A and B are shown apart, each in its own frame.
Chain A
Amino acid sequence: MWILKFLPDWIFHGIFLVGLIGFAATYLFKYIPFPFIFVYRKPIQIASVLAIIFGTFMSGASYDNNAWEARVKEMEAKVAKAEVESKEANVKIDNKVQQQKTKIVEKQVVVKQYIDREVIKYDNSCVIPKEFVEVHNKAATK
């Protein structure tokens, strides 16, 4: 609420208190020996009631506003923490995936070396049929 941004909370508690005191004071006017004050009894009562209503409303609004601000700060802290956790998790997953990919590549190199050393001996004795190549390529194509 805009009014809460530039007025401190105690102002609203003060308005409520002034209203309460003003309202209570109007009942003491008859004991004061100045009759001209009694003329202002009704306007003071009305102003006091308005002050009590305004003070009560604004105190509630201020409490609510403070509660929301605290919640916002709490959420901001949680979101910031979550962003850090998210980045840390990404680094961990990245490293894990890189390690696994390296293992796959290493294994591929070993198998290729074996092929170049052992399987190559059977190149001339084993003829690959055309149908085998076709069926392999069909399976490997999307």
Chain B
Amino acid sequence: MKYLILVLMLVGCSTTVPVTSKFPEPPKYSLQTCPNLQLLKDESKLSEVATTVTINYSTYYECAVKNDGWIEWYQIQKHIYESVK
């Protein structure tokens, strides 16, 4: 009888919480890596230099925008995660 009581008391401890949350999906753009900057050709003309510099600045700003997007994504996801408690 005492074993039966012991078993009944122990099964009371077997409660588990089967709730799992999935890791949030990242935004579509964010998994693309930043491209390399363009290089100047030997004997480049002034307009080619200006064009290459312009393209490189644009590349930087596109990458910066993606980075800012990641920061915003993290802050929002953190806020959402912390609200699930």
Given contacts A86-B25, A108-B58, contact A72 B65 (CB under 8 A): no
**CB-nearest residue of chain B to A61:** B12
Q: Once bound together, how far apart are the Cα atoms of A2 and B15, in whole Å?
A: 10
B3-22 interface code vs A (CB 8 A; 1 in, 0 out): 00100110110110111111
Q: A89-B76, A119-B50 known; 18 other A-B pairs, CB under 8 Å?
A: A3-B11, A57-B8, A61-B12, A64-B12, A64-B15, A72-B17, A76-B19, A85-B80, A89-B73, A89-B77, A89-B80, A97-B27, A100-B65, A101-B62, A120-B46, A120-B47, A128-B43, A137-B40
Q: What count of chain B residues pass the 8 Å CB interface test? A: 54
Closest CB-CB distance, B7 to chain A, in whole Å? 11
**CB-nearest residue of chain A to B51:** A115
Interface residue range, chain A: 35 or more
Contact of A133 among B12, B42, B65, B76 (CB under 8 A): B42
Chain B residues in 8 Å Cβ range of A112: 51, 54
Chain A residues in 8 Å Cβ range of B42: 130, 133
Closest CB-CB distance, A110 to chain B, in whole Å? 10
**CB-nearest residue of chain B to A130:** B42
Chain A residues in 8 Å Cβ range of B46: 119-120, 122-123, 126, 128
Given contacts A111-B54, A119-B47, A136-B40, contact A104 B62 (CB under 8 A): yes
A43-75 interface code vs B (CB 8 A; 1 in, 0 out): 000000010011001000100110010011001
Chain B residues in 8 Å Cβ range of A72: 17-19
| B73 A93 Cβ-Cβ under 8 A | yes
Chain B residues in 8 Å Cβ range of A1: 11-12, 14-15
Most chain A CB neighbours (cut-off 10 Å) among B38, B40, B52: B40
Most chain B CB neighbours (cut-off 10 Å) among A2, A65, A98, A104: A104
Closest CB-CB distance, A131 to chain B, in whole Å? 12
| A68 B15 Cβ-Cβ under 8 A | yes
